[in-house]
Amino acid sequence: MELDELKVFYKRIKQDFSQGEYAPYAVLYKHLKNGWQNGLVFCEGEQDLAYAVCLDNHENGYVLISLFAVFKEYRERGIGSAFIKRLHQKYKDKLAIFVEVERPDEAKTRKEGYSRWRRIEFYEKAGFYLIQGVDYSIWDIPMHLMALPLVASEETINQRIRRSMYELYFNLMGKEFIHKMQFLS
């Protein structure tokens, strides 16, 4: 994703994610411009099909997928799974890939809860596991953390999850907002 494409993708981000789940445009632009995060686009030929925004250059060796979406008109076609496989290949030398998923038990409607469970199942099929025993929220939204082990073992990931996530988010949020990331257990 090039910086000059961000405006177009940001319209999609606003459609694909609830308010509060994504950074303001100016913040995301700054992150991409400074290389703190990378915008990735999954294409078939010239056709864009999906996108991801990843924090993938931190010295701790972990990758955080902060945004991941298949364009609505291409969902249910295996594109998300193919994109995750591509990310797995791209980051094969990293310790693990993390993703946050909203907690189904915190959904306001049955439909929303079902959608959240489907998202968890999608990531589990792709090889991610749900990290147990972590009560986590970001921007006051209760989340589950999931990890795809690459070089690190599940045991190492589980032992370092709090520290690793803090390190990743501290770069993005800075001192002013790091308190918005909470581990309650």
User: What CATH number does residue 173 fall under?
Assistant: 3.40.630.30
Task: Provide the percentage of residues in the chain whose pLDDT is more than 90.
Answer: 31
Model confidence over 11-67: pLDDT tens digits? 888 888 777 677 788 888 888 898 888 899 898 888 889 989 998 888 888 999 988
Q: Which residues of 95-106 are buried (b: 16+ CB within 10 A; e: fewer)?
A: bbbbbbbbbbee
Q: What six digits make up the tokens of 119?
A: 């998202």
Range of the domain at 50: 3-183
Residue 148 pLDDT greater than 90, yes or no: yes
Total count of domains within the chain: 1
Average pLDDT over residues 124-152: 85
pLDDT at residue 142 in the model:
79
Query: Cα 125 from chain centroid?
Result: 16
DSSP secondary structure letter of residue 3: G
pLDDT at residue 180 in the model:
53
pLDDT at residue 144 in the model:
84
Model confidence over 53-81: pLDDT tens digits? 998 888 888 999 988 989 888 888 889 99
Report the distance separating Cα 148 and Cα 151, nearest Å. Answer: 10
pLDDT at residue 175 in the model:
59
Residue 158 pLDDT greater than 60, yes or no: yes
Start-end of H helices in 126-179: 154-177
Please report, to the nearest 10 degrees, the dihedral formed by the alpha carbons of residues 120, 52, 33, 166 taken in order: 20
pLDDT at residue 173 in the model:
63
